[in-house]
Chains A and B, each alone.
Chain A
């Protein structure tokens, strides 16, 4: 299940460096497992040097359209740029992804190539996916759906771009109790408590308007600049990108003070919310 990856906003469809036919089959399989789950999600396709045949390309577009995924752009080399121009899609020149994002390369590495923390992340996502799939099979809605957007039409243009480029936020207006979990590809806002045994996994930031006592994993796609903020930050465990913190570094905790956690020098640090440093825009963002 390496075909779909989360990115800052929406999904990346990883088609580079593998047989298109096989990749397409895998994508269709993944989408069929969770019909409707990705509806309204923007996506870009990462292509390799070899471009798909026109019928393969059409099959991809059809599969995405069926799933409600909005294909907005193409990532790749010069060949991909031509295809993007023909298809009227945005083009982004492919760069080597930052190290933290290279958790699941298109070709499976041997187990030994991965660091333990990378394996942890992979396991997290596999678990999250299995949970979500199981819930959907049972017809439960405990994981909120992504907001619906028009599946047809062209991507939002220019003026709104600055807003659209930020990851979408999921707003959960209730306490998360033990055993409940929220998984989202953008930021997550919880209005309520996150009790021990509950779990939030977000690709972006996590903000809790209440007490965070469960497990929170921000920047789960590898973004080490992600933050976790809470009115009362008392987590069982914090994870940011591939960093795990059980015992938090915080010399001067005062109760009833909003706090924020972020990665500083390879460790998860906690400061009062009003002293949270501005996020440094770097290559990994």
Chain B
């Protein structure tokens, strides 16, 4: 908890601590990769040396701890802190692989309606005093859980897959968020060979409707499922294009003017994905 103690002290000069950025990662539709994006973006930001906390706002259906591989180390959760059964320091789980990355897990056995939205806002504010980035992993849907997750955030990243239904749901969420959150877009699970064959919406198709600033594009790679199951964010890897894509997104979030790398068609991917379908084997 060395890092935490160091940053807990506010600079005395201006009277108020410099606040970090609170960014909600949301989508409306479930299963488009919010949690994976939160974990990888957080990891990539932490690799840049930033102090990052990831907040799982999916009370009752938490998953961020699994994706980060920290589930066995979670002892306290958001509601414990809000309801003052634990201090923030007790509840924050440090990710040993990324020294400046922390997780605040959601309560699995509680309901979203149990969260007091004002206290959620206070909690995010408290985290912003201690971290440069507070990434909030929003639950699917637009009900109470969504409202709680958005409550303390100042910015939004929306994750969309190249599916008509996902675009529709993301559009709904962007409408609900309004301009205050300056939403930016990550298009997830693009399969370049399908786009080329006209069997999948392209990034341009998706953004023709959404018309949002594009943060980045992530290809659909089997490694992501593997890494999710194993609790090792791909952003930790150095050998994968996907990891480079997350690092580029992190750089753009941090304000650097780097181009968003577009996933390229790789022969290996095609043969791998196509292999078991038969007929398409080279």
Direct contact of A and B (CB under 8 A): yes
Q: Which residues of A are in contact with B by a Cβ distance under 8 Å?
A: 175-180, 193, 195-198, 213
Bound form: Cα–Cα A179–B209 in Å: 14
Q: B168 touching A178 by the CB < 8 A rule?
A: yes
Residue ID in chain A nearest B171 by CB atoms? A178
Is the beta-carbon distance between B211 and A179 smaller than 8 angstroms? no
Contacts A196-B168, A197-B168 given; indicate if A180 touches B209 (C-beta within 8 A): no
Residues of chain A lying within 8 A (CB to CB) of residue B169:
178
Interface string of B171-194 (1 = CB under 8 A from A): 110111000000000000000000
Give the CA-CA distance A175 to B171 in the complex, in Å: 10
Q: How far is the CA of A195 from the CA of B172 in the complex (A)?
A: 9
With both chains docked as a complex, state the minimum distance between the C-beta of B92 and any C-beta of chain A, in angstroms: 34
Which residues of B lie under 8 Å from residue A213 when comparing CB positions?
Answer: 209
Q: Give min CB distance, A233 to chain B, whole Å.
A: 15
Give 19 CB contacts A-B under 8 Å: A175-B211, A177-B172, A177-B174, A177-B175, A178-B168, A178-B169, A178-B171, A178-B172, A178-B175, A179-B172, A180-B175, A193-B211, A195-B171, A195-B209, A196-B171, A196-B209, A197-B171, A197-B172, A213-B209
How many A-B residue pairs lie within 8 Å, measured between CB atoms?
29
The contact string, 1 if C-beta is below 8 Å from chain A, for chain B 195-213, is 0000000000000010100
Q: Which 4 pairs from chain A and chain B are nearest by CB?
A: A177-B175, A178-B171, A178-B172, A179-B172
- Expressed in whole angstroms, the Cα–Cα distance for A160 and B176 within the complex equals 39
Q: How far is the CA of A180 from the CA of B171 in the complex (A)?
A: 10
Interface residues on B, range: under 10
When chains A and B are docked, how far (Å) is the Cα of A5 from the Cα of B169?
Answer: 34
Cβ–Cβ < 8 Å partners of A177 in chain B: 171-172, 174-175
Question: Which residues from A are CB-within-8-Å of B175?
Answer: 176-180, 195, 198
A176 vs B175: C-alpha distance when bound (angstroms): 7
Complex CA gap A175/B169 in Å reads 15
**A181 shortest CB reach to chain B, Å:** 10
Instruction: Please give me the residue from chain B that is nearest to A176 by CB atom.
Output: B175
Q: Which residues of B contact A180 (CB under 8 A)?
A: 175
Q: Please give me the residue from chain A that is nearest to B28 by CB atom.
A: A178
C-alpha gap A14/B254 in the complex (Å):
61
Complex interface bits, B149-181 against A, C-beta within 8 A gives 1, otherwise 0: 000000000000000000011011011100000
The chain B residue sitting closest to A196, CB to CB, is B168
A180 to B179, CA, bound (A): 14
Task: Pick the most buried of A175, A176, A178: most chain B CB atoms within 10 A of its CB.
Answer: A178
Distance, CA A239 to CA B158, complexed state (A): 32
Q: Give the one of A177, A193, A195, A196 with max B CB within 10 A.
A: A177
**Binary CB contact string for chain B from 234 to 272 against chain A (1 if under 8 A, 0 otherwise):** 000000000000000000000000000000000000000
How far apart are A12's CB and chain B's nearest CB, in angstroms?
33
A132 CA to B175 CA, complexed, in Å = 16
Residues of B within 8 A of A198 (CB): 175
Tell me the minimal C-beta distance from A234 to chain B in angstroms. Answer: 11
- For residue A231, give the distance in angstroms from its CB to the closest CB of chain B: 14
Question: Which of B168, B171, B172 gathers most chain A CB within 10 Å?
Answer: B171
Residue of B nearest to A175 (CB): B211
List of A residues within 8 angstroms of B172 by Cβ: 177-179, 197
Most buried by A among B172, B174, B175, B209: B175
Query: In the complex, what residues of A have CB within 8 A of residue B211's CB?
Result: 175, 193
Chain B residues with Cβ under 8 A from A195's Cβ? Answer: 171, 175, 209
Instruction: Report chain B residues within 8 Å CB of A179.
Output: 171-172, 175-176
Cα–Cα distance between A187 and B225 once the two chains are bound (Å): 51
Q: A195-B209, A213-B209 are in contact. List 16 more A-B contacts (CB 8 A).
A: A177-B171, A177-B172, A177-B174, A177-B175, A178-B169, A178-B172, A178-B175, A179-B171, A179-B175, A179-B176, A195-B175, A196-B168, A196-B171, A197-B168, A197-B172, A198-B175
A183 to chain B, nearest CB (A): 16
- Give complex CA distance A198, B168 in Å: 10
Kindly list chain A residues whose C-beta atoms are within 8 Å of the C-beta of B171.
Answer: 177-179, 195-197
Measured in the bound complex, the distance between the Cα atoms of B174 and A197 in whole Å is 13
Smallest beta-carbon distance B178→chain A, Å: 9
Closest A residue by C-beta to B176: A179
CA distance A195 to B174 in the complex (A): 11
Q: How many Å lie between the Cα of A178 and that of B169 in the bound state?
A: 8
The residue in A175, A179, A196 that gathers the most chain B C-beta atoms within 10 A of its C-beta is: A179
